Amino acid sequence: MMLLPSISQLLRQHCRTRKSPIKCELSVCPGSHQVSAAPLSSRETCQLFRDIALGIRTLRNLDETPWADALGATMVVGADGWIITLRIHEDGRFHCERCASPDGRVYAFDSSQRYGTDPIELLSTWELARLATLLGEM
């Protein structure tokens, strides 16, 4: 009888043999079946914002703070199990502070990152305007 390898063994093997510039990380919680992979990239997070702008995903306000009241603060929104924390600046611009996927992977903003790594900056002009409109309607 052949024993099937566990998920963690398969992931470790995949990470070892992967020839990719993307860092592959693995952490397994003892006594749990929860496995977390590498953090969300800016591009993956940007794709979520694109889906919201295109109407593929539905945006909901999770902390019930209206856009107008969130100026200079943060606003927590959700879309199909994703939890997004946006920092809204006084001039109405915004950036993604944190984004958590349903599978537990997280994108976290780091001000020391180089230009172009904020997922909001990767959106097209139309996508950014549409996202701002959707947020303003909350």
Query: What is the pLDDT at residue 127?
Result: 94
User: Does the model's pTM come out above 0.85?
Assistant: no
> Are 111 and 51 part of one and the same domain?
yes
> Are 130 and 89 part of one and the same domain?
yes
> Are 24 and 60 part of one and the same domain?
no
Radius of gyration of the chain (CA): 18
> Are 9 and 65 part of one and the same domain?
no
Domain count, the chain: 2
What range defines the domain where residue 86 resides?
39-136
User: Do residues 123 and 133 make contact, with C-beta atoms less than 8 angstroms apart?
Assistant: no
Structure-token match 């800016």, residue found: 42
> Are 22 and 72 part of one and the same domain?
no
pLDDT digits (tens, 9 = 90+) for 108-134: 887 666 665 788 888 999 999 999 899
d(CA 106, CA 31): 22
> Which residues neighbour 73 within 8 Å (Cβ) at sequence distance 6 or greater?
65, 87, 88
Query: What is the pLDDT at residue 70?
Result: 73
pLDDT digits (tens, 9 = 90+) for 10-69: 445 444 444 433 344 444 444 444 445 688 888 899 999 999 999 999 999 998 777 777
> Are 121 and 58 part of one and the same domain?
yes
Joined together, the tokens standing for residue 4 give 């099937």
pLDDT digits (tens, 9 = 90+) for 74-92: 889 999 999 999 888 888 7
